[in-house]
Amino acid sequence: MRTAVIKDLLHHQPDNNNTDNCITHQIREVTLTIKRTINSIYEIFVSKENNHKNTLIESYVMSFQKTFLIPSKLSHGNETPSQPAVTRLFSPSSNVHLLVRYLPESIQNFTPQFNPGPFVEVADVRELLKKWISEIKHLLEEEFPKILSTVKTQIELVSIRSKVWALLDADENVKGKKNNKWQHNTEQLLGTSYSVWENLYRTIFNNRAKLIIDEQLEELVNQPHTLVWPAIIDSKENTLRKGFSVTVNIWPDPTTTKYFNAFSLPNLSSSKEIQAFKSALTETVYDRTNILGRLQKAFDDKLEQIRKDIQEHMNIPNVDNDHFQSITDAEAIKEYFQDRCYASVLDFCEGLNVLMKQVSAESWMDQKSKNYVIIFLGRFARNIGILSKELPRSITVSTILPETASMLKLHSNLNQDSKFIEIQEHLLSIFHKAHDPWLSFLTEKFTAALKQTLISTKWNDQCSAIQIWEGNMVYLKGKKITNEKAHIRKPCFIIFRCR
């Protein structure tokens, strides 16, 4: 019966409009059902409080052996039972006691004979209880993650977890308490104290926290395809987006009256505008166009959102009184986030590489446009590695240093995290790789132009280079060769291919 109740509670779908309260209510009901079941088992099969000689189940059996009456809770341990068993089978409004009164005396005085066999031992109850708890644990591991799947942020998860802690605090917090009924009952039944949070809920909540990290970082990994590519290419018309530019347009467009400035002059009375002006000057060096700036901001904003969500686990109210291993769990979740963030940024880089290959394979785009788009993607990678403020913070989430101090430490090139340095190098390698098609394109154009020039140019001795050549001594292998003996009449052209 208790198992069926827990199943019904777990199968109930929470209301999407009020997920937090609904899930908290489900956990509360499941937890109370488990606790009350264990406490009831203790009171029936084990407890001999108030100097009782027998347990409650033993008292019931002994009472049935003497009379067809059930002892009430108040008469437990006394010889005189008080409540007819038959009245438990009908509603009080049925006046069952009147029916019993007019039955034959032999029936009224009938005493059943029981042969219960050996006494119930605590070890027998313990074995059955452990089996039941194991079934409930398996049920929770199977069903509860489905309920928590509606929780999409760490803030919501921590809020639900805090309410569970508040429900369990009186039982789980045994430090400094001599008389704790829950711990006493579980020690008598199971042989050791039992923590509902540690055994049933902790792993489920921590796994959900990690899954939320994976889901959020998956959005970051997909940005090259969901944000970068649509910002550059108009897929419907198979053309570059209007306004796309590889570099900052400082000079005015001769075809329009509009001026595309890299930055605007600040208001001298606004410190915020002055700071923004200084930042714009710095970013202009890295050709941070409007599209590039918007994409960089989307990358930083997503990382900042995830990092601040993760730091909700670090806000532990009472560090010195940690009953639920919250410090250990917070550290584990932080390390998991840092590792997954590192792997996700590498996947992000791979997404940029895929886009560069995709641009090279586009048939509708001329080579010059392809080179511009690929260089743009390379600059995007470089600017993230150099200018991103959230990337170093996310790779090395700090629970001690404030954000500003941590940022200064990371950008000072002192004690930088090895993973952050590796990511920077990976992003810069994409930047350098993005210039290979452009260099090859220039080399081919220069080679073709030079070849055409040599073929189309008529040679004559009036060439100034020949006159200078023949007017000087030529040394070949250490021997002096005069003009009369010189057989070289035309210069030898060597074409170097520079990369």
Region of 191 please: left (phi>0), alpha (psi -120 to 50) or beta. Answer: left
For the stretch 313-318, contacts whose Cβ atoms lie closer than 8 Å and that sit 24 or more positions apart, written own/partner, are 313/154, 313/158, 313/209, 314/399, 315/158
Tens-place pLDDT, residues 14-39: 665 567 788 999 999 999 999 999 98
Q: Are strands 474-476 and 479-481 parallel, antiparallel or unpaired?
A: antiparallel
Of 125, 138, 161, 139, the residue nearest 8 (C-alpha): 139
Tens-place pLDDT, residues 128-159: 999 999 999 999 999 999 999 999 999 999 99
End position of a domain, from candidates 417, 440, 463? 440
CA distance 148 to 321: 27
Of 35, 149, 360, 391, the residue nearest 43 (C-alpha): 35
Could you tell me the CA-to-CA distances from 407 to 392, 398, 479 in Å, in that order? Answer: 7, 10, 66
Question: What is the reported pLDDT for 91?
Answer: 59
For the stretch 124-127, contacts whose Cβ atoms lie closer than 8 Å and that sit 24 or more positions apart, written own/partner, are 125/41, 125/45, 125/46, 125/189, 126/189, 126/190, 126/191
Question: What is the reported pLDDT for 318?
Answer: 61
Q: Which residues pair with 83 in a beta bridge?
A: 70
Question: What is the reported pLDDT for 423?
Answer: 93
End position of a domain, from candidates 163, 190, 207? 207
Helix (H, G, I), strand (E, B) or coil at 223: helix
Do 189 and 303 sit in the same domain of this protein?
no
Do 212 and 224 sit in the same domain of this protein?
yes
| 222, part of any domain | yes
Do 171 and 85 sit in the same domain of this protein?
no
Question: What is the reported pLDDT for 258?
Answer: 43
CA distance 131 to 92: 37
CA 241, distance to chain mean position in Å, is 33
For the stretch 207-210, contacts whose Cβ atoms lie closer than 8 Å and that sit 24 or more positions apart, written own/partner, are 207/145, 208/145, 208/148, 208/149, 208/151, 208/157, 209/154, 209/157, 209/313, 209/333, 210/333, 210/336
Read off the pTM.
0.76
Assigned token pair, 282 = 């710095």
Do 13 and 23 sit in the same domain of this protein?
yes
Do 44 and 8 sit in the same domain of this protein?
yes
| 485, part of any domain | no
Alpha helices in 365-472 (DSSP H): 367-387, 390-395, 403-411, 418-433, 436-456, 464-470
- 217 and 338 in contact (C-beta within 8 Å)? no
Question: What is the reported pLDDT for 246?
Answer: 77
Question: What is the reported pLDDT for 306?
Answer: 94
Do 247 and 327 sit in the same domain of this protein?
yes
Helix (H, G, I), strand (E, B) or coil at 479: strand
Do 91 and 238 sit in the same domain of this protein?
no
| 475, part of any domain | no
Q: Which domain holds residue 279?
A: 208-440
Question: What is the reported pLDDT for 247?
Answer: 72
CA atoms within 13 A on the CB side of 465: 8
State residue 234 phi and psi, 5-degree precision. -90, 100
End position of a domain, from candidates 207, 226, 260? 207
Question: What is the reported pLDDT for 124?
Answer: 83
| 285, part of any domain | yes
| 148, part of any domain | yes
Region of 410 please: left (phi>0), alpha (psi -120 to 50) or beta. Answer: alpha
Residue with the two structure tokens 């210069």: 491
Question: What is the reported pLDDT for 211?
Answer: 96
| 132, part of any domain | yes
- 213 and 342 in contact (C-beta within 8 Å)? no
- 94 and 84 in contact (C-beta within 8 Å)? no
Do 203 and 221 sit in the same domain of this protein?
no
Q: What is the largest CA-CA distance in the chain?
A: 156
Question: What is the reported pLDDT for 20?
Answer: 77
Helix (H, G, I), strand (E, B) or coil at 239: strand
- 420 and 396 in contact (C-beta within 8 Å)? yes
Do 151 and 219 sit in the same domain of this protein?
no
Do 93 and 126 sit in the same domain of this protein?
no
CA 399, distance to chain mean position in Å, is 17
CA distance 151 to 365: 44
CA distance 161 to 212: 15
Do 410 and 432 sit in the same domain of this protein?
yes
Quote the number of domains for the chain: 3
CA distance 288 to 282: 9
DSSP string, 109-163: T--------SPPPHHHHHHHHHHHHHHHHHHHHHHHHHHHTT--SHHHHHHHHHH
| 469, part of any domain | no
DSSP string, 19-63: HHHHHHHHHHHHHHHHHHHHHHHHHHHT--TTT-SS-HHHHHHHH
Do 236 and 342 sit in the same domain of this protein?
yes
| 183, part of any domain | yes
Low-confidence ranges of the chain (pLDDT < 50): 251-252, 256-261, 399-412, 414, 473-499
Assigned token pair, 400 = 């001690």
